[in-house]
Chains A and B, each alone.
Chain A
Amino acid sequence: MIQSLRRQAKIYGAIAAMVPKEYSAYSIWVWMQFIVQILSMMIFVYFWRAVYADTRTLGGLDLQQTINYILLAQILMPIVETRLIFQFGFMVRNGGVAVELLRPLDFQGRFFIENLAGLGVFAIEKLPLLLVAVVFFGLQLPTDPLVWIVFLISLTLGASILFLFDWIFASLAFYSTETWGLSVVRIGVATFFSGALVPLTMMPTWLQDVAAALPFAQTIFVPVSFLSGITPIANALQVWLVQLAWLAGRLVLSGWVFRRGVREVTVQGG
Chain B
Amino acid sequence: MKRYAALYWYFLLQRFKILMEYRVNFLIGASSTVILQIAGLLTIWVIMSQVPNLNGWNLNEILLVYGLLTLSKSITHMFADNLWTIGQDYIRSGDFDRFLVRPIDPLFHLLADRFCHDGIGNFLIGAGLVAVSTAALGIAWTPLNLLYVVIAVASGGAIFIALNLITATSAFWIVQSIPVTQIIFNTHEFAKYPLTIYPRAIGLLMTWLIPYGFASFYPASYILGRDVGALAWMGPIVAVVLLVVGYRVWLFGLRHYASTGS
Contact = CB atoms under 8 A, between A and B. Distances in A.
B176 to A, nearest CB: 7
A42 B202 CA distance: 10
Interface string A22-48: 000000110110011001101100110
Interface size class for chain A?
Answer: 35 or more
Contacts of B6: none
B35 A185 contact: yes
Contact of B32 (A185, A191, A207): A185
Contact of A51 (B38, B39, B47): B47
B189 interface: yes
Interface stretch (B21-29, B144-152, B156-164, B224-232): B21-29
A47 B36 contact: no
A28 B25 CA distance: 31
B46 interface: yes
Contact of A46 (B33, B50, B197): B197
Contacts of B101: none
Contacts of B136: none
A29 B179 contact: yes
B52 interface: yes
A29 B199 CA distance: 29
Contact of B39 (A32, A42, A189): A189
Interface stretch (B12-20, B180-188, B214-222, B233-241): B180-188
Given A202-B47, A203-B46, A50 B197 contact: yes
Interface string A200-220: 001110010000000000000
Given A46-B197, A184-B36, A185-B35, A192 B43 contact: yes
Most buried by A among B29, B53, B183: B183
Nearest to B54: A50
B52 A54 contact: yes
B55 A53 contact: yes
A72 B20 CA distance: 43
A50 B189 CA distance: 16
A189 B35 contact: yes
B39 A178 contact: no
Interface residues on B, range: 35 or more
A123 B163 CA distance: 33
B99 interface: no
Contacts of A238: none
A145 interface: no
B39 A197 contact: yes
B179 A178 contact: no
User: Which of A42, A181, A204 is packed against the most chain B CB atoms within 10 Å?
Assistant: A181
Given A32-B179, A36-B182, A197-B40, A43 B35 contact: no
A4 interface: no
B47 A198 contact: yes
A46 B36 CA distance: 22
A36 B187 CA distance: 8
A181 B193 contact: no
A58 interface: yes
A39 B24 contact: no
B46 A207 contact: yes
Given A55-B51, A184-B35, A191-B39, A32 B182 contact: yes
Contacts of B176: 28
A67 to B, nearest CB: 14
Interface of B: 24-25, 28-29, 32-33, 35-36, 38-40, 42-43, 46-47, 49-55, 176, 178-179, 182-183, 186-187, 189-190, 192-193, 197-199, 202
Given A39-B186, A198-B43, 6 more contacts: A39-B190, A51-B51, A58-B47, A58-B51, A180-B29, A197-B40
User: 5 closest Cβ contacts across the A-B interface?
Assistant: A181-B28, A32-B179, A188-B35, A184-B32, A192-B39
14 contacts: A32-B183, A39-B186, A43-B193, A46-B197, A50-B55, A51-B47, A58-B50, A59-B50, A178-B25, A181-B29, A188-B39, A192-B38, A197-B40, A207-B42
